[in-house]
Each structure stands twice: as structure tokens, then as C-alpha cells.
Amino acid sequence: MGTSLIAGAAGFIGSHLSERLLADGERVIGVDNFVTGDRRNIAHLAANPAWRFVEADVTRPIVEDLGRVDAIYHLASPASPVVYLAKPFETLYAGSDATRLLLERAERDGARFLVASTSEVYGDPLVHPQPESYWGHVNPVGPRSVYDEAKRFGETLTMAFHRYKGVQTHIARIFNTYGPRMSLNDGRIIPAFCGAVLRGEPIPVFGDGLQTRSYCYVDDLVDGLVRLQRSDLREPCNLGNPHELTVLALASIVRKLAGSEVAIVHHPLPEDDPRQRRPVIDRARAELGWELKVSFEEGLPRTFAWFRTHRT
């Protein structure tokens, strides 16, 4: 089925995508510089003859000869607020320089190109739920803008390469995703809550906890990415779970799952934190035949069990 290059292959989603493509019979070249990726996420792939790993920073030209590739997945970017606020320039360059260089490689090789964008392009939305036609409500100079605007620029650059250079491009707008191999310390809500109960600490809830989020299990998200890359869809495509929960409801579910009575402690809401976040996935259903297969009731216990045995 050809060769795929995955930028950000040692990350949470990238490592699962690598497994999926290898299982599909593809050759996979994984690239990562471990700014946020973890070598442990891909260590088990080393024995697979169809797997090749190159340690490199995709915001700069890759020196090593990778040969021609048939598809490129650009997942190389910090993705959690804790990390992208601590690494603002790495985040901005991942959305700009890395996107340009990978698109240029796709143009040279005649390869398909998929950029992992985000629901953050919608900002703190004034439209709920969010369809791809919504242009968003984003603060371009706020603290979160290093991530939001990097992703928005990456989408713009991707569409320009499609419109003016004929590159076969795809834009995945990824909503909250969870599953094994998430870092307990990356600040995202599910690992933050699970980590707290595992340590016997209060669950940290920002604001009143009535803000909503939706959560997609990583296997479903990866299936959506693969379907999108192999499709003819050029417009942005939401990938996420259309069922939403309040933050307080999630805290209660995690406490019950852990059999814990730890307290819930409220903290001030961060600047520009969105109040609502839920995707309209009609486009993914119609164009990709994509549906979620793993329910939250099934996926969260799997994820919690992984955290219980991988606390570091």
C-alpha cells in the first residue's frame, strides 16, 4: 500500500497511527524530535521490518534521505495547553515552518498530505455545536494564540498548496482525544483528573465546571485520519465525539471509576478557555463513512487502567 511518513510519530496519536498503518500493510517512516513525543511509545515497533524511525526536527529540512513517500501525516506539534504555553515558538514553527516543508515534500513526491488541525481553530465558539463552516471566535493575541493561530495558519497554507500547486491535501480538525499513551502530566483534562485520583489528590476543576467537552477514543480518531487521507475530501473535516459532558460530570465519573472520594477543587478559569466544544460530524459520516465504535463507557476504563500501570 505504499510508504507513509508520520511527523510526530512518537506522540500519543502518532504512535497509534503508526501501528494502524503498519497493520494495514504500509511501510511507515516515523519522524520525531521528542519535544513532546516519548521513545517508549514507539519502542515496540523497532522489530517491524516495515518501520523506520528518523530522529529529526521537521521545522528544518530533514538531512537524511527518506526516499519517495506516498502519504504524509503532519502531527508534529505540542497539543496541550501546559506544553504549548511553555513552548510557544516550537508550537508556532510546527504550524508554519514544518507545515511548509512537509507540503513541499508532498509536492515533490506527488504524495497525499494530511495536517492535524484542531477544534481550537473555533476558539471560544459562538456557534454550538461547531460545523466546519463556522469560522471561529479566536483571540489572535491571547496566550492560547500560539497554538490556535499556528493551526489556523497551517490550514491556510495547506489549502494554498492544494489550490495553487495541486497537492492532494486533507485537513483534520481533531477534537478532544483520549486513550493509552497520554502523558499524565500534559495538563489535558482526562489525564489531569485520572492523575489526581491516582495520587489521592483533589481533582482540579477550572471555573464552575459547567463548561462542556466531548471525548473521542484514540482508535476511532486514528480510523478517521486514515479514512480522510485516503479520501478525495479537501475541505476541513471534524473528527470527534458529538456527545458532550460537563467538566463536573467527568470529574464524578473518574472518581466513581477509581472508587475514590477525593475532593473536587475549583480554580480560576484560564484566559480564553472555551465554554463549549462539540463537533458536528455530518461531513465525516457522509464523506468518509466514519462512525465512532468505542463508547466513553468502554474507552475511559481502558485509559484509566493504562494510567494506573504507567504513572510516570
Q: Do residues 9 and 30 lie in contact, with contact meaning Cβ atoms separated by under 8 Å?
A: yes
**Pairing mode, strands 203-206 and 51-55:** unpaired
Instruction: Give a yes or no: residue 196 inside a domain.
Output: no
d(CA 125, CA 131): 11
Q: Do residues 144 and 272 lie in contact, with contact meaning Cβ atoms separated by under 8 Å?
A: yes
- Domain with 84 in it: what CATH number? 3.40.50.720
pLDDT tops 70 at residue 156: yes
The string of pLDDT tens digits covering residues 136-148 is 999 999 999 999 9
The string of pLDDT tens digits covering residues 72-94 is 999 999 988 889 999 999 999 99
Q: Domain range holding 104? A: 3-178+217-241+278-292
The string of pLDDT tens digits covering residues 210-251 is 988 899 999 999 999 999 999 999 999 999 999 999 999 999
CA separation, residue 214 to residues 96, 209, 241, 249, 251 (Å): 28, 14, 6, 12, 14
pLDDT band at 312 (very low <50, low <70, confident <90, very high): low
Domain count for the chain: 1
Instruction: Give a yes or no: residue 199 inside a domain.
Output: no
Instruction: Tell the burial category of 56 from Cβ atoms under 10 Å away from its Cβ (0-12, 13-18, 19+).
Output: middle
pLDDT tops 90 at residue 296: yes
Instruction: Give a yes or no: residue 100 inside a domain.
Output: yes
The residue from 73, 84, 93, 147 that is catalytic is 147
- Total Cβ atoms within 10 A of residue 301: 11
d(CA 21, CA 2): 10
The string of pLDDT tens digits covering residues 168-208 is 999 999 999 999 999 888 888 999 999 999 999 999 998 88
d(CA 89, CA 86): 9
Query: Catalytic: 147?
Result: yes
Within 139-258, where are the H helices?
A: 145-165, 189-199, 218-229, 247-258
CA separation, residue 164 to residues 70, 170, 300 (Å): 20, 15, 43
Instruction: Give a yes or no: residue 38 inside a domain.
Output: yes
**pLDDT at residue 272 in the model:** 62
Element counts in the chain: helices (H) and strands (E): 10, 13
